[in-house]
Chain A
Amino acid sequence: MLSHWRQYLAISPFFLIFGVFSFFPVFYSLYLAFQRWDGLGTVQFVGLQQFRFLWDDPVFWLSIRNTLVIWVLSTVPTLFGALVLATLLHSVRRFKGFYRIALYVPNVTSIVAVSIFFGAVFSNNFGLVNAILGTVGISPVPWLSNPWLIKLVIALLMTWMWTGYNMIIYLAGLQAIPAQIYEAARLDGAGPIRTFFQITMPIMRPIILFTVIISTINGLQSFSEPQVLFGSNAANPNLGGPGQAGLTTLLYFYQSAFVNNDYGYGAAIVWAFFVLIMVLVVVNWRLVQRGRKS
């Protein structure tokens, strides 16, 4: 081991930076979850009090529900849409590069810019969508004040951003499937729909599971979308939209720690959320195992 010190030295910057900026803060936040701290004053040990507060806090549970609803509403159409688009793109003959770029662009645009754009398009009073609905005689829909529609708009935004990303992954998977298999299926008289469900889907299974896990991680961390859509200022601290319908867990964490200067409580929120994500990962893993056995 010591004879390889040069190699270890060469890779050490990553581990040093990781240790200082990632590893240490993670465990420091665990320490903070048992304290009360306003960011500047003395750190006061309070035991499990923060978690007691968390258990009794209806807003925390509301934020968990919001996060899960937004996650389901965005992940299902994202992955389904990505698979359909990838299949279509796989069979397209001309302008392949153009379609790929066009569909991937939403993922690289600034999330803040997209959120501002969505906020303007779905605005209750002066939005483009309501203006179009108005021309066909439909009265304005309260997109950004109805609790369900708020979640729908956020989910739509996330779908718009992440479909292209998943599509690229699927496309790579599709291109790896040998053409002979499809030829054989065609000779056996299978139509396009049957081919899709009997051949494409089973072969793509590991890739789909990969994207499900990535989407779980991304979807549960929704923060910027509601943060920008319901922007805060001095007179109106960001509460996650009317009735807190767009308050995600990470946004609640941000508010508690950085707006209310309650770092201990913020740490408790993220650690409780971490436990929840772990549970979901286990569920995912179980699904993978079951898929392997059958």
Chain B
Amino acid sequence: MDLSRRGFLQAAALTAAASGLTVACGGGSGSAGSKNGKNLTLWYWGGALSDKVVAEARTHFSGQVKLTAASIGGDFKQKLTTTLAAGASVPDITGIKGEDMASFLPNAGRFLDLNDLGFKKIASQYLDWKTKLAQTEDGKQIGFPIDIGPTALFYRADLFDKAGLPTDPDKVAARAGTWEEYFALGTELREKVPGTYLVNNIGSVFTMAVGQGTERFIDKDNHFIGDQGHIRKAWTTAVRPYTLGLDAKINDNTWNAAVGKTLSTELGAAWHALDIEQAAPKTKGKWRVCAMPGGPANQGGSYLALPKQCRNPEEAFKIISWILSPENDARGFTDAAIFPAAPAAYAMPAMTGGDPFFGGQKVIDVFGPAAKAIPAAYEAPADAAVMAPFMTELSSIEAKGKKPEDAWKDAVAQARQIARRQGVN
């Protein structure tokens, strides 16, 4: 992220200026351009789509339209928001990160309803819970699911073996079915193989535990529920490894140095496999994956959307439904570790092969069922902002030894204030 102070201030000034001008002009968006243009632009970020599939889409549709794909770096959401607010040079097709989708939904009017273009007919091909997260209350579909991030437990089979624990994924999953069992396993591992930790930080446990529930911090009626039982339970779960001494307390950028050295397990989404592989190439073949304690959650996963200014909605929709067809989605997994949102892809040869990094294990056997079992939870626009103080307070426990009970109270108070600021009652 190359953002100098000066550059940042300039960007901020530009943003304000651009939006100010739009307001001044009465928000004249969507008026320019005809609706059957021959040039279409596609915005995505590195790793959001398979570059090979995008390149093929360009030739595949060259008879009808000229598709220009741009890989946008930096803060993608910020750039998209600015462009949409300005109403000029808006891309015809754009990616939206899964975690940003909730904050775009209140402004669904800025995007086309994909159901009008035929998404309804093919929606059943994609995971229902994922599709719903890009849907407004009144049923407008603004996002076409690209990928998802089903979570699992990554573990070091060699260390498990050394500790006399089972190494087979099914057996490990059976031994670590619940969070408590997982921590007990970690304690045993810690005794046999000193110097290893179970989790990198307790914030990651909290994220996972919250994701396993059907409710988050704000309910559908726009009430703050971050102080209730389900969050409290996730919090207690997160604090456990800290009190048991299984927490590596890594809150800085040294995670990649710890992987393959002191971290014996990792909780993460399917795409996390690539992170581990890049951070610790020497541990190739020693890792395995199994079902996550307490059930799967989702982390990450993106969408494609058509802004209202799209110059040729019919063709644009054809392009995205081609790029994200189950066959091409499966290729995304091979090319860029993008885990498809279309379950039909899970049975395709591109995904059923063994992964040498995981000792030849067929990881789809773990992620496939996890993808289908992810609980659907309503995500409010302010959800990410309201979750932040919980993460901060958990890091305070690790960094300053703050009492978990005090940290909980401060987190709830702070979260409630942010919620009120963002219009949650």
Contacts and interface: CB of A to CB of B under 8 A. Distances in A.
Interface of A: 20-22, 24-26, 28-29, 32, 36, 38-41, 43, 50, 53, 56-59, 110-112, 116, 119-120, 123-127, 142, 144-147, 221, 223-224, 227-231, 234-237, 239, 241-245, 250, 254, 257-262, 265
A60 B9 CA distance: 20
A145 B399 CA distance: 5
B299 A254 contact: no
Given A38-B107, A145-B398, A260 B418 contact: yes
B8 A254 contact: yes
Contacts of B422: 260, 262
B78 to A, nearest CB: 5
B399 A20 contact: no
B252 A28 contact: no
A26 B253 CA distance: 35
Given A25-B16, A110-B2, A243-B400, A125 B392 contact: no
Contacts of A262: 385, 421-422
Nearest to B18: A25
B347 to A, nearest CB: 28
A161 to B, nearest CB: 11
A90 B418 CA distance: 54
Contacts of A40: 81, 84-85, 104, 106-107, 110
Contacts, number: 166
From DSSP, what is the main secondary structure of chain B's interface residues?
Answer: helix
A112 B418 contact: no
A219 to B, nearest CB: 11
A123 B254 CA distance: 7
Contacts of A145: 249, 251-252, 398-399
A124 B99 CA distance: 30
B381 A38 contact: yes
Contacts of B10: 21
Given A25-B16, A58-B414, A112 B396 contact: no
B299 A235 contact: yes
Name the 3 nearest CB pairs between A and B, nearest first: A242-B399, A25-B16, A243-B396
Given A145-B252, A224-B5, A259-B385, 17 more contacts: A20-B17, A22-B13, A29-B16, A38-B107, A39-B85, A40-B106, A41-B107, A53-B417, A125-B258, A146-B399, A146-B400, A147-B400, A239-B395, A242-B398, A245-B399, A260-B388, A262-B421
Given A241-B251, A245-B399, A262-B421, A236 B203 contact: yes
B16 A38 contact: no
B interface, size bucket: 35 or more
A262 B400 CA distance: 29
B391 interface: yes
Contacts of B244: none
A125 B250 contact: yes
A28 B16 contact: yes
Given A22-B13, A242-B395, A262-B385, A119 B2 contact: no
A123 B257 contact: yes
A147 B399 contact: yes
A38 B84 CA distance: 12
B252 A123 contact: yes
B4 to A, nearest CB: 6
A234 B300 contact: yes
A39 B81 contact: yes
Contacts of B78: 258
Contact of A261 (B3, B81, B248, B414): B81
Contacts of B384: 237, 259-260
Contacts of A142: 399
Nearest to A228: B1
Contacts of B107: 38, 40-41
A14 to B, nearest CB: 15
B23 interface: yes
A119 B253 contact: yes
Interface in B105-129: 106-107, 110
Given A25-B20, A260-B422, A59 B414 contact: yes
Interface in B407-423: 414, 417-418, 420-423
Contact of B253 (A38, A112, A123, A254): A123
